[in-house]
Amino acid sequence: MNTLSITDPLPNGPEHFDAAAFAAHTLSSPQNLAAILDHTLLKPDATRNQVLQLCHEAAEHRFACAMVNPTWVSLAAAALQGTGVPVGVVIGFPLGATLSASKREETAHMLKHGAHDIDMVLNIGLLKSGQTADYEAIRQDIHGVVQLAHAEGAIVKVILETCLLTFEEKLRASELALSAGADFLKTSTGFSTGGATADDIGLLRGVAGHRAGVKASGGIRSLADATTMLHAGASRIGASASVKIVAELAGHATEPSTTAPGY
C-alpha cells in the first residue's frame, strides 16, 4: 500500500485540484452553492417533523443530499422520492468503533432503505494504535462498506475526525481511505472536540488531488465559513445551516431553519 510519511511532499502536477476555479464556479450562484451542500440533521433529539422539514428544504434548494441518522432514512427516502435529491446517512457514527461486520450490515440496510451517500466513521482508536495490522484492519473496514455501496451505485465519504489526529495520522488515514476506494475524505462528525479547519481541508486535498472529493463538516454556519473551506480545497460541505448559507449568497436574510443549529 502506498502511504505518505510526514516528510513526503504532497501530490501536485496533473493530480492537482484547482480549488480557486472550483470555488469561483460554486460561489457564482446560489444554485451552484446548494449543489455541493449536504443539508444535515444529526442531532440525537431530531423529530419526525424536523426530518421532513429538512427534506422539504433539500428539495426546494436542490441540496447535494439530505443527511440523516439511520432511523430516518426510510422516511427521508419517501419524502424525497421523485425529487432527484438523494438521502445521505451516517454509519458507525459518531465514534467509528463499531465492528466492521456491524458497519457492513448497517450499510446494507441503509442502501436497501434508500440511502445513496454513506458517510462512515473511520476506526480512530485503531489508527492511533499505530500497528501495521491495525492499519490493514482499517483499510478492510472501509473497503467492506465501499464494496457494498458501489455495488448499488452509492458513494462513501470517510470521516477521519481530524481534530483527534496528528499531522502524520491525518496523512495515513487519508491514504488508507483512498486505497480502500473512498469517494470522499471528510473532516469531522461535528460531535467531537472540533470541526473543519482550512488547514485540514488543504491537507486532505493535497493527499486526495483528483482521486477523491474532500468534504468539510463541523462548525460551518455561514457563507464566510463555506467560502473559506472551498478556497482551501473542499468540494462538498456538510452543514445544518445550509439554507442560511445559500440565502447569504443570494443577498437576503432568511429565518433560521428548524434543523439548525448543530453539525
Burial of 18 (0-12, 13-18, 19+ CB in 10 A): exposed
Domain that holds residue 41: 14-250
In a domain, 90, yes or no: yes
Residue 2, in any domain of the structure: no
Whether residue 8 is predicted with pLDDT greater than 90 in this model: the reply is no
CATH number, residue 56: 3.20.20.70
Whether residue 7 is contained in a domain is answered as no
Per-residue pLDDT of 211-247, as tens digits, reads 999 999 999 999 999 999 999 999 999 999 999 999 9
Separation between Cα atoms, residue 50 and residue 7, nearest integer Å: 47
pLDDT over 70 (residue 1): no
pLDDT of 59? 98
Q: What tens digit of pLDDT does each residue of 249-260 get? A: 999 755 554 444
Domain total for the chain?
Answer: 1
Burial 225-256 (b: 16+ CB within 10 A, else e): bbbbbbbbbbbbbbbbbbbbbbbbbeeeeeee
In a domain, 245, yes or no: yes
User: What's residue 252's pLDDT?
Assistant: 75
Question: Does some domain include residue 261?
Answer: no
Residue 62: which of 24, 29, 23 has the closest Cα? 29
Which residues are catalytic, by number?
119, 186, 215
Per-residue pLDDT at 253: 58
Residue 245 contacts residue 212 (beta carbons within 8 Å): no
Task: Identify whether 227 is part of a domain.
Answer: yes
User: In this predicted model, what pLDDT tens digit does every residue of 190-204 receive, in sequence order?
Assistant: 999 999 999 999 999
Write down the pLDDT at residue 209: 96
Q: What is the pLDDT of residue 260?
A: 46
Residue 3 located in a structural domain: no
| pLDDT value for 254 | 55
Region 79-91: what's the mean pLDDT?
98
260 inside domain = no
